Amino acid sequence: MPSVETVRGPVDTAALGNVLMHEHIFVLGTEVRQNFPGYLGAWDEDAQVADAVAKLNECAARGITTIVDPTVIGLGRYIPRVQRVAADVNLHIIVATGAYTYNDIPFQFHYNGPGLLFDMPEPMVELFVSDVRDGIAGTGVKAAFLKCAIDAPGLTPGVERVMRAVAQASLETGRPITVHTSVHNESGLIAQKVLSEEGVDLSRVVIGHSGDSADLNYLTQLADAGSYLGMDRFGLDVLLPFEQRVSTIVELIRRGYAERLVLSHDASCYIDWFASDARAAAAPNWNYTHVSDHVIPALLERGVTADQVKTMLVDNPRRYFE
Ligand SMILES: [Zn+2]
């Protein structure tokens, strides 16, 4: 039986059940928070862990059994805190390795690497592989997939370096990839090109945030190359309204793409990029229960079958991790 690593250890892929494929728990900038405490809101460790447990158990009460958390370097990944949450929630939590940047790589990598001041093999590859094989920072928790990003600035040198390191670590470990992309510059296509050049099988890649687009030409092009489309920002109606997100999925399914779609919110229990009350006012449905409470009922109402919902929530995530 194929299994996948979760925060609480390996789980049979058949037991993953209903999976939200892109949710964060905590997105934190530790350095800013330590030096400017209170900026955009105070942080209380115990209260935030308890809040995360409550929010995730609410999600689990809807029948969701697994969440996939692509919080990596650049987003404040800190596995001991996720372990505290995982111990008290009725959900499998799958974590990632990789790096998240729209521009440059962290300075800790800037001078270290092939052809750089300190010439050495790409250190990120070895670090990402070790997160998969040996576990993350002594926690024993193993990363089950890799994550990188390409946003509005496109394929900057830093973005490309991370993407190629992620691809190489994926090939070495056999683990799949999720890419944060921007629909505005169709950067999913650039990601597919770079990952293909490295030899990655595009059917093992989620093109994240594809659901911000209603452009069926763009979306079917990505899916026809074999990748999953992350219809994964439900609740971010400010980026694309709910109705358009839903009708795009309905049309893609009508055209036979159910096996290429995964669902999620890209929500977090706590993200320190925004003041919490401003965020809640701007995106009131940006939480872990919107897909269960509103999206699936809307899809069913428009003729999507329960089987097709199962394909997106259960079968596609399972295949991705196998
Ligand atoms: Zn995300």
Q: Which tens digits make up the pLDDT trace of 176-218?
A: 999 999 999 999 999 999 999 999 999 999 999 999 999 999 9
Ligand 1 centroid from CA 71, angstroms = 7
67 pLDDT higher than 90: yes
Ligand 1 centroid from CA 76, angstroms = 12
Helix axes 242-254, 216-224, angle to 10 degrees: 50
* Distance, CA of 247 to CA of 34 (rounded, Å): 43
Residues of the chain above pLDDT 90, percent: 96
pLDDT reported for residue 293? 98
Residues of the chain above pLDDT 70, percent: 100
- What number is the average pLDDT over the span 159-170? 98
Answer yes or no: are the C-beta atoms of 259 and 308 closer than 8 Å: no
Ligand 1 centroid from CA 97, angstroms = 13
The residue type of 257 is Y
Ligand 1 centroid from CA 37, angstroms = 24
Ligand 1 centroid from CA 115, angstroms = 32
Q: Which residues pair with 95 in a beta bridge?
A: 69
Ligand 1 centroid from CA 117, angstroms = 33
Ligand 1 centroid from CA 67, angstroms = 12
Ligand 1 centroid from CA 145, angstroms = 14
- What number is the average pLDDT over the span 220-226? 98
Ligand 1 centroid from CA 146, angstroms = 13
Distance of CA 304 to the CA centre of its chain: 25
**Token pair recorded at residue 49:** 């862990």
The three state secondary structure string of the chain is CCEEEECCEEEEHHHCCCEECCCCCEECCHHHHHHCCECCECCCHHHHHHHHHHHHHHHHHCCCCEEEECCCECCCCCHHHHHHHHCCCCCEEEEEEEECCCCCCCHHHHCEECCCCEECCCHHHHHHHHHHHCCCCCCCCCCCEEEEEECCCCCCHHHHHHHHHHHHHHHHHCCCEEEEECCCCCHHHHHHHHHHHCCCCHHHEEEECHHHCCCHHHHHHHHHCCCEEEECCCCCCCCCCHHHHHHHHHHHHHCCCHHHEEECCCCCCEECCCCHHHHHHHCCCCCCCHHHHHHHHHHHHCCCCHHHHHHHHHHHHHHHHC
- What number is the average pLDDT over the span 121-140? 98
Ligand 1 centroid from CA 233, angstroms = 8
* Distance, CA of 97 to CA of 77 (rounded, Å): 9
pTM > 0.85 = yes
Ligand 1 centroid from CA 62, angstroms = 21
Ligand 1 centroid from CA 48, angstroms = 19
pLDDT reported for residue 1? 82
Q: What is the mean pLDDT of the chain?
A: 97
Ligand 1 centroid from CA 269, angstroms = 12
pLDDT reported for residue 41? 86
Ligand 1 centroid from CA 277, angstroms = 20
Side-chain-facing half-sphere of 131: CA atoms under 13 Å: 28
> 35-44, 55-64, 167-176, 225-234 — which is least confidently predicted?
35-44
pLDDT reported for residue 42? 87
The string of pLDDT tens digits covering residues 238-253 is 999 999 999 999 999 9
Ligand 1 centroid from CA 162, angstroms = 16
Confidence of residue 97 (pLDDT cuts 50, 70, 90): very high
The string of pLDDT tens digits covering residues 20-31 is 999 999 999 999
The string of pLDDT tens digits covering residues 134-159 is 999 999 999 999 999 999 999 999 99
Ligand 1 centroid from CA 177, angstroms = 13
* Distance, CA of 51 to CA of 54 (rounded, Å): 5
- What number is the average pLDDT over the span 118-144? 98
- What number is the average pLDDT over the span 42-63? 96
Ligand 1 centroid from CA 121, angstroms = 29
pLDDT reported for residue 276? 86
- What number is the average pLDDT over the span 83-87? 98
Distance of CA 183 to the CA centre of its chain: 16
Cα dihedral sign, 228-232-237-238: negative
Ligand 1 centroid from CA 217, angstroms = 24
- Phi, psi at 112, each rounded to 5°: -115, 115
Ligand 1 centroid from CA 84, angstroms = 21
* Distance, CA of 71 to CA of 99 (rounded, Å): 9
pLDDT reported for residue 158? 97
Ligand 1 centroid from CA 28, angstroms = 13
- What number is the average pLDDT over the span 158-177? 98
Which residues have CB atoms below 5 A from the ion given as ligand 1?
266
Ligand 1 centroid from CA 178, angstroms = 10
- What number is the average pLDDT over the span 38-47? 92
